[in-house]
Each structure stands twice: as structure tokens, then as C-alpha cells.
Amino acid sequence: MNTKATPRTNLSVRLARTALVLSALGALAACNPFAGPAAGARQYDANCAACHGDGGRGGAGGPDLTGIAAREGEFPRRAVLNRLDGYGRGLVQHDVAMPDMSHMMTGRLMLVDLGRGASRMMPERVVALGAYLESIQR
């Protein structure tokens, strides 16, 4: 093991490089087809439509998902993504509610812009579902 202290300059060079890589990732994320609404729609049909209905219009047991933006004033992307990510990690518990979705909210991670200067790594599938939900708001 190398026990030599890292010179300060090396550290700032590394930080600058990390920042560059992160911003490049952010740019990639913006046009990642695996994280867009079309990919989200396929997942939605397979995993969510049984409860939330065709096109998110509500149905058997799940609420209508097309009125979230109307209810909140704008689509609360950050809250929705965090919630979906939470379902994926088994963090969201209710008595009724959503089944455990952790089997599908896995896979490749990507950096997602949550607005107001915040960003996080989340599975592409979560981001895709969020993009789809955003696209079906009335």
C-alpha cells in the first residue's frame, strides 16, 4: 500500500476531472433512450397499468396518475422520482398501496438532474418511469 500523502495539487486536478466527467454524464443523461418516456411507457404497461390503468388514467386499485401536475401546480419531478426510487429500495411502506417494486427499479445507474442544483444517481428505469409519468400529465 502506498502511504505517501497525496499532494494538494493532485487532489484539485482530480476534483476538476471528476467535475468534467460528471457534467459529461449529465449531458449524456439528457438523451439517454433507456431513460426516456418511450422506455418508461413499456415498463409502465408491463408493471403498473394493471393498477393505474391504461395511460395512467386510473383503474383497478391504483389512483389516476395523469393529474399529479394539475394537483401540485407543476409536475413534481423530484418528489415523484424520489418516491419511485424509494419503492425500488423498499423504503415506501403503506397498508394498501403499491406492491414491492424493487425487482424492476434496478439496473444501470445514471446521474439525474432533480432541479434547483440537486442531482442524484438513480436507476435508468426509475428515471424512464418518471419521464413517462411527466409525459402523460393532462
- The footprint of ligand HEC (CB under 6 A) covers 47-48, 50-52, 61-63, 65, 68, 80, 83-84, 94, 96-99, 101, 129
What single-letter DSSP state applies at residue 76?
-
Smaller CB separation from ligand HEC, 98 or 114: 98
* Pick 49 or 110: Cβ nearer ligand HEC: 49
Nearest approach in angstroms of CB 67 to ligand HEC is 8
- Residue 101's identity, in one-letter code, is M
Compute how many other C-beta atoms are within 10 angstroms of the C-beta atom of residue 118. 9
Residues 6+ apart with CB under 8 A from 127: 29, 32, 35, 81, 110, 112
Q: How far is the CB of 88 from ligand HEC (least distance, A)?
A: 9
Smallest distance from ligand HEC to CB 134, Å = 11
Structural element, H or E, at residue 18: helix 8-30
Residue 40, exposed/middle/buried by CB under 10 A (0-12, 13-18, 19+)?
buried
Closest CB to ligand HEC among residues 17, 42: 42
Question: Looking at beta carbons only, is 29 or 51 nearer to ligand HEC?
Answer: 51
State the nearest-atom distance from the C-beta of 16 to ligand HEC, in Å: 38
